Amino acid sequence: MPARATVRNTGSKSSTAARVAGSEPLKISTPRKPLIHPLVVFSMAFSFFMSVSAEVAGVARDNPIQLDKTVMHHGAVQMDVAATAEGGGTRVGAVMSAIRQRIANRSLTPGSKLPSVRAFATTMQVSTSTVVDAYERLVAEGVIASRPGSGFYVSGQVVPLALAEIGPRLDRAVDPLWVSRQSLESSDATLKPGCGWLPPSWMPEAALRKGLRGLSRAEDAALTDYGTPLGFPPLRQLLARRMMERGIEASPDCIMLAESGTQAIDLLCRFFLETGDTVLVDDPCYFNFHALLRAHRAKIVSVPYTPTGPDIEAFAKVVAEHRPRLYITNSAIHNPTGAVLSPVVAHRVLKVADQFDLTIVEDDIFADFELTPAPRLAAFDGLSRVVHIGSFSKTLSASARCGFIAARPEWIEGLVDLKIATAFGGGRLSAELTYNVLRDGGYRKHMEALRARLSRAMAETGSRLRKLGIEPWLEPQSGMFLWCRLPAGLDAAGIAREALAENVVLAPGNAFSLSQSAGAFMRFNVSQCLGDRVFQTLGRALDLIR
């Protein structure tokens, strides 16, 4: 193709004027170097950029979960894209992960501007809507901030988000919170024979989903409004009928819903106790009783627990000497021993309580695990000086927080005021979900199957523990716990530490004992002991401690 002709300036202003006037012919010449049109430059740059992007896309196709490190530049921000997809490998998750990683290692500092939506979409080989979704989610989390008309920026104060897995805390003292912290903070790969709840696969997941679908069709107020002070009336009516089956007479007006069994005890401690008041517990008892009472600055005393209830002679002596304000206990399926209160001991406990004006808090959280109903202090007492509490975190869902308190009317009045002062409204969604599941016939069938499953697990776990020289203190009638004595001379806390190093959480006895007299005992949750790994780890820990 012939070169484009150009006009060359060969003279002064006068000669130029003459040429314009036509007095001198124009001199036409071919330029030494052809000029490149700006569109050609842009086209070449764009082709190069797309070839680089294609390489990135090839890496992403070969390994969709983790991209190779690629440098992307936007203004003053340079970001290595090592996007480990989260949330099951979604594209939105990959974008979020790439940004979080750079923020975590300080490649992006507070105030840095993020790439534009379009630029980041091109680099990540995703749609702009994917990047918009990722940015909006990060804004909602407070990781980045949106400035209208300017773009997205890293927030000024960034809270670290899961920068590394939390490892076992081997240096912590085995106190009442030790087992809870290890169980709640551990990963899904950790085995938890020391925890106090069932595996997710044992819970009524189908019934919960059905209940949630029913809740989604409820009136608007159920989804958005506060609950009534006493709690969802239909659930309280249902609870009154269920309590009647166990011999406890309580009208719905004498039942107040709480967020959980733990919140129920917390409210009762706030209601009954002053700083320094004495509270009596069993030895051993549920370890969180210790932690909660210490949070209320109560003085704690204990009484030895036997296979039929508290040692009644020791009980009478401790009550007479210390004059406790409260006695907190489990009457049916005692935690951690699995023991059951006998009618004779129940009557003697109530007699001592009446003599010394002692209020009893009866925690009945394991009621639905019973094969045969055991005596209830609240049934014998008629809710005079006994407060009866329960929840559904063990049988229904620990996520749907719902518990209750049954007590005499004047106490319920005061507790309602206290609940409003500390929590205002109740959890209406959880209450209605619990009601939807409980009133369905599937819950009873679920519990029947669960009780049978626990019985089988109890027999299997007991047999395997005996082969290791670990003996159950008693054979529980029902429930999920085995309270066991270790071989002579072995310390439960040391064994628990060795097992934790292999990601197995155990529950050493002294976590349950105020007197620290249960160092040779350990609680096992039989539902969490299925499979070989628990017993293999336990055997190695026993050998190391011997």
Q: Alpha carbon 69 to chain centroid distance?
A: 33
Phi (first) and psi of residue 7, to 5 degrees: -95, 130
Query: What domains lie within the chain, and their CATH numbers?
Result: 1-35 (no CATH), 39-154 (1.10.10.10), 178-195+444-545 (3.90.1150.10), 205-439 (3.40.640.10)
Least confident of 36-45, 181-190, 255-264, 461-470: 36-45
- Segment 317-326 shows an average pLDDT of 98
Q: Is the dihedral of CA 478, 481, 482, 485 positive or negative?
A: negative
pTM: predicted TM-score of the whole model, two decimal places: 0.71
- Segment 451-471 shows an average pLDDT of 97
- Segment 66-85 shows an average pLDDT of 37
Residue-wise pLDDT for 404-430, tens only, equals 999 999 999 999 999 999 988 778 899
Q: Is the pLDDT of residue 47 over 80?
A: no
Residues with Cβ within 8 Å of 271's Cβ and at least 6 positions away in sequence, in order, are 411, 414, 415, 418
Cα 330 from Cα 351, distance rounded (Å): 18
Residue-wise pLDDT for 328-383, tens only, equals 999 889 999 999 999 999 999 999 999 999 999 999 999 999 998 899 999 999 99
Tell me if 462 sits within 8 A of 327, measured CB to CB: no
What pLDDT is stored for residue 30 in this prediction?
39
Q: Residue 501 corresponds to which tokens in the numbers above?
A: 């190093």
What pLDDT is stored for residue 173 in this prediction?
57
- Look up residue 409 and give its DSSP letter: H
Cα 518 from Cα 511, distance rounded (Å): 8
What pLDDT is stored for residue 3 in this prediction?
43
Residue 525's beta-bridge partner residues?
A: 481
What pLDDT is stored for residue 21 in this prediction?
38
60-68 contacts, C-beta under 8 A, 24 or more apart: 60/125, 64/89, 65/89, 67/94, 67/98
